[in-house]
Amino acid sequence: MKDSFGREITYLRLSVTDRCNLRCRYCMPEEGVCKLTHDDMLTEDEMILAVEAAASLGIKKLRITGGEPLVKKNILEICERACAVEGITETAITTNGTLLPQMALPLRKAGIQRINLSLDTLNEEKYRHITRRGELKDALDGIHAALDAGFEIVKINAVLIGGFNDNEIRDLAELTLKMPIDVRFIELMPMYDSGDFGNEAYIKGDTVLAQLPEAVPQEADGGVARLFRLPNALGNVGLISPISAHFCGDCNRLRITADGRIKPCLHSDDEYRIKGCSREEMTAVMKDAILHKPQWHGEMSYAERTHTHRDMNQIGG
Ligand code: SAM
Ligand code: SF4
* pLDDT tens per residue, range 164-213: 999 999 999 999 999 999 999 999 998 876 667 888 999 999 999 999 99
* Better-scored residue on pLDDT, 47 or 192: 47
The phi, psi pair for 173, rounded to 5°, reads -60, -35
Helices and strands (H, E) in the chain, number of each type: 9, 12
Mean pLDDT of the chain: 95
Q: Quick one: pLDDT at residue 298?
A: 74
Distances (CA, A) of 289 to 187, 224, 255: 26, 22, 10
Q: Does domain 11-315 have CATH number 3.20.20.70?
A: yes
**Looking at residue 195, what is its pLDDT?**
60
Instruction: Choose which residue among 13, 23, 27, 191 to substitute to test ligand 1 binding: the one with the highest number of ligand atoms within 8 A of its C-beta.
Output: 27
pLDDT at residue 191, as a whole number = 83
Read off the pLDDT of each residue in 105-130 and give the average, rounded to a whole number. 98
What pTM was computed for the model? 0.96
Residue 78 has pLDDT above 70, yes or no: yes
Q: Which atom of ligand 2 is nearest to the CA of 96?
A: 7
Distances (CA, A) of 306 to 49, 53, 108, 266, 269: 30, 28, 35, 9, 9
Cα–ligand 2 centroid distance for 68 (angstroms)? 6
- Give the pLDDT of residue 39: 82
Structure confidence at residue 246 as a pLDDT band (50, 70, 90): confident
pLDDT of 225 > 70? The answer is yes
